[in-house]
């Protein structure tokens, strides 16, 4: 049986400390240069050399709090603070690459659909169809306070807003401009046929948008839609909207069940199972010998900071580990914050707060960790893909950029030898790279069935 090719995205963030808790302090780490253009330009060149699908840029709308009651620990430890806008970096990187995709996070809770649709269309034009949108609903309480709310928007309501937000964007991208609207008729001074450009006249519960879309159709029209969410509401949302789904966690059995569940839900939405790609989270520590790998792990653990892991978990979920006693039961705690993150542990009913802290104190606690020689790492990646039915991984950095350099130079050549990884780019857009079905979103997707008012 022909085995599927494995997809890699680099999981990144425009900040000093993404998911490698405390490792920005390592003397070989370059993350403190995140503020410079050269940092992102060189990273993009490295990823394109490694034939990565995309750089996946996460984002948050505030600061991780509470931990020990407020935001000061996050700021002190550099836990995704300070953090800059991810969209601007894309402009730097697309100019030095020809194929690398850009999956950019943007919030449906605090963005405006008309302006965001314009931003993505602009990048899709400039990149020749290489952009994706990671749809997030913003689980941080501080994000709510930064955007005019007195408290966090409840979890399920955030998804209601997101559903309508996407409806508006689909109407703008897919229906506002007809295929033949743009004429570019120099002789008659007609750029666009106005009869083929339509308002959308959306008047919903959360948004009112007349249109038409301000941008002419881009290569993909609708960017590739990514989403991460393992709550029941999140899975239903992903099955309806997402073309790529990011799945957290470390337990292969749980990941396998989640993959199967999301594919089944997608089928119930009239979509084909191969119209959705699922990505796990992965940290790779690789060396030419096992002794080299052990030395790298020992070195990383010297700089790993468990408190940074506690801060992120607390801020993301809204459950302040810094104000709970270690002997308190953690399991089944309700949160209006990030339920996918909380579910990493709250399904374990006997887990105490101390147990959660112990888990979070391990290097790469929030990802699958694969270590070994190139051959050993490739064996483990293949086995994981084949067992879980994942399509690929969002690859984390431990040391920037050394971790990804090792993946590009040592792991990818081994996967290529086995026929499990591309040896060249052969696509015209990000969507075509993922699905090999052209640039436009599938006719089975909800985006193609939205009705416009005019």
Domains identified in the chain, total number? 1
pLDDT tens-digit profile of 361-407? 999 988 999 999 999 999 999 999 999 999 999 999 999 999 999 99
> Residue 61's CB: how many other CB atoms inside 10 A?
21
Instruction: Kindly state whether residue 270 falls inside one of the protein's structural domains.
Output: yes
Name residue 278's beta-bridge partners. 245
The mean pLDDT value for 246-261 works out to 93
Give the SS3 label for residue 67.
strand
Instruction: Kindly state whether residue 454 falls inside one of the protein's structural domains.
Output: no
Give the SS3 label for residue 169.
helix
Instruction: Kindly state whether residue 313 falls inside one of the protein's structural domains.
Output: yes
Instruction: Kindly state whether residue 2 falls inside one of the protein's structural domains.
Output: no
| pTM: predicted TM-score of the whole model, two decimal places | 0.94
Least Cα distance to 117 among 8, 217, 243 occurs for 217
* Mean model confidence pLDDT for the chain: 94
Q: For residues 117 and 112, give the distance between their C-alpha atoms in angstroms, rounded to a whole number.
A: 9
pLDDT tens-digit profile of 10-54? 999 999 999 999 999 999 999 999 999 999 999 999 999 999 999
Instruction: Kindly state whether residue 156 falls inside one of the protein's structural domains.
Output: yes
On the question of pLDDT at 345 being above 80, the answer is no
pLDDT tens-digit profile of 396-418? 999 999 999 999 999 999 999 99
Relative to beta strand 54-58, strand 101-107 is: parallel
Instruction: Kindly state whether residue 1 falls inside one of the protein's structural domains.
Output: no
**Residue of 281 and 274 predicted with greater confidence:** 281
On the question of pLDDT at 430 being above 80, the answer is yes
pLDDT tens-digit profile of 53-88? 999 999 998 999 999 999 999 999 999 999 999 999
CATH number at residue 210: 3.20.20.30
Instruction: Kindly state whether residue 147 falls inside one of the protein's structural domains.
Output: yes
- Cβ contact 391:277 at 8 Å: yes
Backbone φ and ψ of 173, nearest 5°: -75, -45
Structural domain for 200, as ranges: 7-449
Relative to beta strand 224-228, strand 131-136 is: parallel
What per-residue string of b and e applies to 294-305 under the rule 16 or more CB within 10 Å gives b? eebbeebeebbb
């Amino acid at each position: 049986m022909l085995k599927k090719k494995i997809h890699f995205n680099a999981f990144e963030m425009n900040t000093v400390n993404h998911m490698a808790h405390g490792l920005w302090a390592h003397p070989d780490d370059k993350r403190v240069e995140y503020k410079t253009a050269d940092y992102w330009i060189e990273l993009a060149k490295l990823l394109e050399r490694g034939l990565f699908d995309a750089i996946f840029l996460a984002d948050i709308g505030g600061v991780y709090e509470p931990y020990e009651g407020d935001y000061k620990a996050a700021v002190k430890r550099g836990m995704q603070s300070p953090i800059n806008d991810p969209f601007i970096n894309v402009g730097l990187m697309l100019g030095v690459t020809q194929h690398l995709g850009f999956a950019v996070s943007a919030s449906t809770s605090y963005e405006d659909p008309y302006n965001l649709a314009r931003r993505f269309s602009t990048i899709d034009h400039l990149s020749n169809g290489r952009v994706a949108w990671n749809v997030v609903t913003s689980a941080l309480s501080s994000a709510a306070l930064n955007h005019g709310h007195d408290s966090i928007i409840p979890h399920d309501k955030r998804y209601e807003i997101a559903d309508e937000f996407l409806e508006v964007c689909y109407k703008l991208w897919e229906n506002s401009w007809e295929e033949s609207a743009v004429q570019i008729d120099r002789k008659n001074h007609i750029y666009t046929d106005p009869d083929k450009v339509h308002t959308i006249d959306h008047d919903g519960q959360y948004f009112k948008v007349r249109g038409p879309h301000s941008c002419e159709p881009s290569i993909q029209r609708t960017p590739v839609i990514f989403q991460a969410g393992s709550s029941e509401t999140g899975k239903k949302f992903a099955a309806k909207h997402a073309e790529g789904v990011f799945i957290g966690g470390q337990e292969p059995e749980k990941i396998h069940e989640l993959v199967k569940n999301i594919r089944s839900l997608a089928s119930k939405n009239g979509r084909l199972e191969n119209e959705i790609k699922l990505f796990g989270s992965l940290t790779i520590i690789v060396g030419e010998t096992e002794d080299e790998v052990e030395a790298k792990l020992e070195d990383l653990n010297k700089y790993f900071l468990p408190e940074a892991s506690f801060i992120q978990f607390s801020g993301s979920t809204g459950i302040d580990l810094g104000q709970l006693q270690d002997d308190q039961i953690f399991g089944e705690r309700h949160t209006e914050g990030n339920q996918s993150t909380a579910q990493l542990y709250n399904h374990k009913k006997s887990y105490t707060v101390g147990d959660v802290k112990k888990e979070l104190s391990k290097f790469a606690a929030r990802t699958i960790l694969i270590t070994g020689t190139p051959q050993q790492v490739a064996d483990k990646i293949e086995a994981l893909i084949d067992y879980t039915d994942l399509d690929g991984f969002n690859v984390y950095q431990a040391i920037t950029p050394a971790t990804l350099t090792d993946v590009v130079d040592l792991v990818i050549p081994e996967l290529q030898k086995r026929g499990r990884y591309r040896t060249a780019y052969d696509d015209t857009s990000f969507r075509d790279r993922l699905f090999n079905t052209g640039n436009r979103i599938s006719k089975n997707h909800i985006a193609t069935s939205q009705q416009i008012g005019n």
